[in-house]
Amino acid sequence: MRREAKGERRARGCGLTLLCLAATTVLTACGTAPTRQPGTDAPSAEAPRKPGGYYLDDGPHADPPADLDQVPDAQPKPEPIRAGNARPYTAMGRTYVPMTELREYRAIGLASWYGKRYHGRQTASGEIYDMYAMTAAHPTLPIPSYARVRSLSTDRSVVVRINDRGPFHSDRLIDLSYTAAYKLGILANGSARVEVQSILPGRDLQSAAASRDAPSPLPASTSPGPPPTEDSARAYLQLGAFSLRENAATLLTRLQVEVGWLGDLAAIYPAGGMYRVQAGPYASREEALRAAARIEEHLDLKPVVITR
């Protein structure tokens, strides 16, 4: 993210390394940097909390604009994905594999926000961070792209433009701008559980989300109805199912690194409180079985063929 003084660089600074991934020493430095997010965590010995309860000198300005309610949501529009922000990278000892194309995405996790410490500094995209604009940082969503963020506690939602990388805490899903957090009603707590859903310009968001949520976790106790026909059924490989999204994301990253030929066929499908890592669709069950055998040659897991 923003450039910072030597010795004060923290996890968020890893976003800048996307601009110069070849600089291994920079990534190594990020791997030993503090991992705290602004305004949320308890202080560490290396970085004492400043007056006001915010990490270092982060937090809101003393006199923020009075009309933040009037700031419009980000307006989704087609934009080319920045190639420099689509390469795998390492931050805080973890490897992240950004999406290389716009596709449906939905996840639930913890959102935090960042403020004046980074206001006016360069983001991973090269743009300047404006804490009063409707933007956000995400570890793997394309840059730039758009997402709808809904607070599970206030049920408010906003649309933000993803133009930065982070957060790199294992329990954080997205970092919001000050205004986005304000409009969601989560400023006071510093963090909150949210649902993040990608927006694909030119496509109906709700219908895309409905198809993304299949399959159901278990067969219904009532009659399941007629089996899918050859024309309607699609074959997928189920590679794992987890109650924690973080564990599903870890498996997905491993797949993308160790069996990269799967490409964008592998994704996380949340449904029924579970996060399923699946690959597909394949044109036929036979094609799915061939892919399963190839995966077994490289990984110690046995994919299961499903149809939906």
pLDDT per residue over 240-264, tens digit each? 888 888 888 888 888 877 887 887 7
| One domain, residues 163 and 300 | no
For the cut 50, the answer to whether the pLDDT of residue 118 exceeds it is yes
- Residue finishing a domain among 199, 228, 243: 199
Which one is predicted more confidently, 275 or 224? 275
Q: How far is CA 32 from the centre of its chain?
A: 22
Give the type of residue at 223: S
For the cut 50, the answer to whether the pLDDT of residue 221 exceeds it is no
* Percent of the chain's residues with pLDDT above 70: 70
Residue 95, domain member (yes or no): yes
For the cut 50, the answer to whether the pLDDT of residue 173 exceeds it is yes
| One domain, residues 39 and 172 | yes
- Taking the C-alpha atoms of residue 183 and residue 157, their distance in angstroms, rounded to an integer, is 8
CATH number at 257 reads 3.30.70.1070
| One domain, residues 170 and 227 | no
| One domain, residues 88 and 135 | yes
| One domain, residues 121 and 247 | no
- Residue finishing a domain among 199, 223, 252: 199
Residue 282 pLDDT: 87
| One domain, residues 253 and 187 | no
Residue 209, domain member (yes or no): no
- Taking the C-alpha atoms of residue 180 and residue 187, their distance in angstroms, rounded to an integer, is 9
Residue 45, domain member (yes or no): yes
Which one is predicted more confidently, 156 or 18? 156
Residue 281 pLDDT: 87
| One domain, residues 96 and 190 | yes
| One domain, residues 56 and 185 | yes
Domains of the chain: total: 2
Residue 131, domain member (yes or no): yes
Residue 257 pLDDT: 79
Residue 221, domain member (yes or no): yes
Which one is predicted more confidently, 278 or 41? 278
DSSP code per residue over the chain: -----TTT--GGGGGGGGG-TT-HHHHHHHHTS----TTTSPP-SSSPPPTTS-STT-S--SS--TTGGGPPPP-----PPPGGGSS-EEETTEEE---SS----EEEEEEEEE-TTTTTSB-TTSSBP-TTSSEEE-SSS-SSEEEEEEETTT--EEEEEEEE----STTEEEEEEHHHHHHHT-TTTSEEEEEEEEE-TTS-HHHHHHHHHPSPSS--SS---SPPPTTT--EEEEEEEESSHHHHHHHHHHHHHHSGGGGGGEEEEEETTEEEEEEEEESSHHHHHHHHHHHHHHSS---EEEE-
| Least confident stretch, 42-46, 133-137, 164-168, 281-285 | 42-46
Residue 6 pLDDT: 37
Residue 5, domain member (yes or no): no
CATH number at 25 reads 2.40.40.10
| One domain, residues 109 and 247 | no
Residue 245 pLDDT: 83
| One domain, residues 143 and 233 | no
Give the model confidence (pLDDT) of 204-218 as tens digits.
444 334 444 444 333
- Residue finishing a domain among 154, 176, 199: 199
- Taking the C-alpha atoms of residue 16 and residue 78, their distance in angstroms, rounded to an integer, is 24
Its domain, for residue 173, covers: 11-199
Q: Read off the pTM.
A: 0.52
| One domain, residues 118 and 263 | no
For the cut 60, the answer to whether the pLDDT of residue 4 exceeds it is no
Residue 1, domain member (yes or no): no
Name the band, by pLDDT with cuts 50, 70 and 90, for residue 233.
Answer: low
| One domain, residues 93 and 237 | no
Residue 206, domain member (yes or no): no
Most confident of 22-26, 85-89, 217-221, 304-308: 85-89
Give the model confidence (pLDDT) of 123-138 as tens digits.
999 999 999 999 999 9
Q: Cα(first)–Cα(last) distance of the chain, in Å?
A: 41
